[in-house]
Amino acid sequence: MKMHDSNTTYGFRIHSLGLLMFFRDVIGLPCGKKYSTLRIPQLFKTDNKLKISFIRGLADTDFCISLKRGSRKNPFYPVISGSSKSKEFMSEIADELEHLGIHSRRYFDYIMKDTRLSNGFSIINRIEINRHDNVKRWMQIIGFKSPKHLKKAEKASLL
């Protein structure tokens, strides 16, 4: 395996056909451009512990935890959010979170300005987990391993 960095995106190249076949055929991870085929692998959906680990890994790499401005009594509140080009994938993640008792808001086909693109925007699909009790439930069930996310969670008194 070879790791490479393209600004903020990490990926890896697999030079082992056996390992590639394991990821693709046994686990069910897509190869190449993945947005149209991105799903939680069936292997993970049938085992709650694996499903939670999958969502935690996804969140550590592709989600963020923000502290939004609140009121005088509560100066800020935490929001965990994740987005993808794939509406089906974000919907599937939100559905699985609902089964775990974690409620999320869904924003699908959301137009986001992006001057780096030739058309000036991109369309994303986003889920947000908010409210202290809901975010605390996330931390109890899913949690984070990412030091960056854990630091923000600690600042929001979630740990």
Q: Which tens digits make up the pLDDT trace of 127-158?
A: 999 988 899 999 999 999 988 888 888 877 77
Domain CATH code at residue 95: 3.10.28.10
Q: Which pLDDT does position 127 carry in this prediction?
A: 97
Same domain, 120 and 49: yes
Q: What is the pTM of this model?
A: 0.80
CB 68 within 8 A of CB 74: no
Q: Which two tokens stand for residue 40?
A: 């939680």
Range of the domain at 55: 33-155
Instruction: Indicate if 23 and 98 belong to the same structural domain.
Output: no
Tally of domains in the chain: 2
13 and 39 part of one domain: no
SS3 141: helix
83 and 148 housed in the same domain: yes
Give yes or no: residues 40 and 17 share one domain.
Answer: no
pLDDT at residue 51 tops 70 = yes
CA 88 and chain centroid, separation: 13
Question: What's the pLDDT at 78?
Answer: 85
- 66-123 pLDDT, tens digit per residue, is 888 877 877 778 899 999 989 999 999 999 999 999 999 999 998 888 888 888 888 8
Same domain, 15 and 1: yes
Are residues 128 and 57 part of one domain?
yes
C-alpha distances (whole Å) from 35 to each of 46, 66, 83, 145 are: 22, 25, 12, 25
Between 13 and 61, residue with greater pLDDT = 61
Same domain? For 95 and 73 the reply is yes
Greatest C-alpha distance within the chain: 58
CA angle 67, 69, 75 (to 5 degrees): 95
Helix (H) or strand (E) holding 20: helix 17-21
Q: What is the mean pLDDT of residues 40-46?
A: 89
Residue 26 DSSP class = I
35 confidence band (pLDDT: 50, 70, 90): low
